[in-house]
Structure 1
Amino acid sequence: MKYGSLILEKKEYVYLKRILNVSGYAGDFEVQNSLQKLSEELREAQIVDHENMPSDIIRFNSKATLIFENGLEKTLQLVTPTDRDVSKNKISILAPMGAALIGYAEGDTLIWDFPGGRHHLKIAQVNQEEITEVLNLII
């Protein structure tokens, strides 16, 4: 990991903890495992103020270009559960891929258990989109 641990913006961290508590890790076995792993990673995460947030961290509304171990490249946007839209490559933070990506940085590689098995991913690029709507939910 580029920064040694996950990095989350303070208000997004609070929101994420809330939705994880409300979700009760609902879903199938793989979803439950992904959310449990995310909860464990959050214990060691660096929580920073908005103005100190590195621009290369995957956070709410970030677009991340991923390279899978088979060479497939895909760009996904990490969103709140209500904004998910798979047809537009918008994935929920509560989906296994969303849980895997939050808090990681451009250049990081990670190994995660997905419904289709264990995958190695490299985060090739991170672009930030507007996040005010998420922050407004929290305030």
Structure 2
Amino acid sequence: MNSQIHISSCDLNGILSLLEDSKMLSSNIAALEEELVRANVVDKEAIPKQVVTMNSTVVFKFVGENKVYIKKLVYPVDIENYDDISILAPVGSALIGMSKGQTLNWLMPNKTIKTIKVINVIK
């Protein structure tokens, strides 16, 4: 069982709107919807600083690998460069709502399960 995640009502509404407008049907969208269902939804002001929200810059890695990633979580239309990651990308969907130090098992597109660990969250 994965740990509890937190999401602001503002982010939830934005993501749900994106999903309603999305023509994509994929297992990744289904996984994102499952994450949203299990999330603890709170006001934006109540989200702790170390929780990944939309537009947070996240330092993370895959457990068992040495490479560390630094990515900004954004909506697909807001991607500006390689340092941005879409909320609709498999890792982007996994990161939303996670906290510093938290890990999450996530099914990747190649059907392997990877454990993602959040090292830091920069607002």
Short-chain TM bin: 0.7 to 0.9
**Equivalent residue pairs, number:** 121
Contact 1:85 1:91 in 2 (8 A): no
Q: TM-score, normalised by structure 2?
A: 0.88
Q: 1:106 aligns with which of 78, 97, 100?
A: 100
Unaligned segments of structure 2, at least 5 residues: none
Q: TM-score, normalised by structure 1?
A: 0.79
Partner of 2:12: 13
Q: Distance in 1 between matches of 2:6 and 2:20?
A: 20
Partner of 1:137: none
Partner of 1:33: 27
Partner of 2:74: 79
How far residue 112 of structure 1 moved from its aligned partner, in angstroms, is 1.0
Matched ranges for 1:1-139 at <5 A: 4-24=3-23, 26=24, 32-68=26-62, 69-87=64-82, 89-116=83-110, 117-128=112-123
How far residue 115 of structure 1 moved from its aligned partner, in angstroms, is 2.5
Unaligned segments of structure 1, at least 5 residues: 129-139
Q: How big is each residue's C-alpha offset from its partner over 1:2-35, in whole Å with a ceiling of 9 and x where there is no partner?
A: 9x422111111111111112114x16xxxx1122
Question: Taking every aligned residue pair, what percent have the same amino acid on both sides?
Answer: 31
Q: Distance in 2 between matches of 1:99 and 1:121?
A: 11
Q: How big is each residue's C-alpha offset from its partner over 1:64-123, in whole Å with a ceiling of 9 and x where there is no partner?
A: 111222121111110111111452x10111111111111111111111122243211210
